[in-house]
Chain A
């Protein structure tokens, strides 16, 4: 069973601690929503957990092994990472963009081996992009590109998916579709970690919530226990109410707290 652990993660930039002594343990089969105000250190924490940023202090352990010591290609096969607002730099087709997610699986030379074709089609279909399959990625709308990037991340069938605001810019239907896909992945025993701004969406779909405030871990635990008005006041400085249960939960912000 995949297990990702952070121990005393501290990241400093210009003498300021962006992350301050963050420790947590994440297990396969969970969908963890990362919430926090702007500048709380969400993106930095995701980069550290993905093994792309080495913290000043502390370690990230993947199944007990220090993540910086894991072979980059092995790591790439096991975890997918999506940064905020990913871009395509050349007008390659959606199909080829999605196929780039198979980079760590491919031989150094030559094209895509035939066996990967069904996986490619599945990923494209799952993200509702069959009609755009041959369209240049640079001509996609923002939401379509976000879906193409998600397909890119899912095509390699990673054990761990780390995504920085993957739902930003999606229309309601596609946002719900994407969340359902992340939920389903967690249901299949994968570990999904996503920074989420829409708290209602997080409350309805995530199994766990971790909240950051000014670089420190403010709370981490099962969604129903953690996502409370008290926590929202501490993390976002707002009065909020949480109504309903399960997939009918609604998070409402009422007023800035004094």
Chain B
């Protein structure tokens, strides 16, 4: 049996290139020498600050968030055996968005900057718990519960926008939901990273289960896979990683949907082998999208979520065309 080492190595190389590019490219023009000096000998010079306080945290956050989205997408598509599954499916990203928007609504974010990600985390946990409470006992009920929770949180999001205390707050909420990596500090990373890493670690153990599910739920169970446990761990892993990621960056679409599809043909479609490369590629895709937002000089900041959607939506069309070709 061939191993999945080569695709993983290639995905890692792509990620590495993307990280290097993201450190050297940006609004402030810096020579490569200055960047390397800033990295190796951090001082209070402008170059040093730009590298250590702006570009490096941005790249680290992009890796954490992109890996969360890519891995969650791969596990969910394997669990549900549905190519359209994506991390937002379980309601946790909308839950995180609702928590974050409420912090803006009640003006908490102005008093205490970390209130937004903290409430976002609380929202993600709450939404995940609700999905779990209603969706126990079956994969279909889990999806339906996720959609119900998503619908409910969207309704509350609309309510918050409707009764926004002032136009500026409404604008803040809207723009927050578009997703961005800018203006994030090491504090944000320190807050989200433990949850993200724990979530990723849980999701990384799902390989055997998603492989067995290739044969359907009955055969997977006959092979000793505990499906209840698999569903709970998936919800927990996605909730922790994507919930924490969304609470810091806002909603970022399509990465979790696209990354596993790009990986799959190169690993013989075996679900367990899509996991690690999807995480790496998800991170690389997010960094590339972020570089685009930085290089295009627009009057207002071009938000990351907008870029991923603009790139991701055509991919969706391609997926439809391909399914139409291969379907009987």
Contacts and interface: CB of A to CB of B under 8 A. Distances in A.
A76 B223 CA distance: 5
A93 B2 CA distance: 12
Given A52-B218, A88-B215, A89-B216, A103 B223 contact: yes
A77 B4 CA distance: 26
A112 B1 contact: yes
Nearest to B211: A100
Interface residues of A, number: 38
A76 B220 CA distance: 10
Q: Which of A72, A79, A99 has the most CB of B within 10 A?
A: A72
B23 interface: no
A104 B219 contact: no
B224 A106 contact: no
B226 interface: yes
A81 interface: yes
Contact of A96 (B219, B264, B270): B270
B98 interface: no
A100 B223 CA distance: 9
Contacts of A45: none
Contacts of A117: 1
A83 B270 contact: no
A90 B270 contact: yes
A89 B1 contact: no
B224 A86 contact: no
A45 B213 CA distance: 23
B221 A52 contact: yes
Contact of A50 (B3, B207, B212, B222): B222
Interface string A57-96: 0000000000000001101110111110011111111011
A87 B216 contact: yes
Contact of B224 (A87, A88, A104, A152): A104
A77 B81 CA distance: 25
A136 interface: yes
Nearest to B274: A90
A151 to B, nearest CB: 12
A83 B218 contact: yes
Interface residues on B, range: 20 to 34
B283 to A, nearest CB: 21
Contacts of A99: 1
Nearest to B1: A112
Nearest to B210: A90
Contacts of A50: 222
Contacts of B223: 76, 100-101, 103-104
A108 interface: yes
Contacts of A83: 216, 218-219
Interface in A212-244: none
Given A100-B212, A108-B205, A92 B270 contact: yes
B136 interface: no
B222 A100 contact: no
B32 to A, nearest CB: 39
Interface of B: 1, 3-4, 81, 205, 207-208, 211-216, 218-219, 221-226, 264, 268-271
9 contacts: A47-B218, A52-B218, A89-B214, A90-B269, A90-B270, A90-B271, A97-B214, A108-B205, A111-B1
Given A52-B218, A83-B219, A152-B215, 14 more contacts: A76-B224, A82-B219, A87-B216, A89-B213, A89-B216, A92-B269, A95-B1, A96-B268, A97-B214, A100-B214, A100-B223, A101-B223, A103-B224, A111-B3
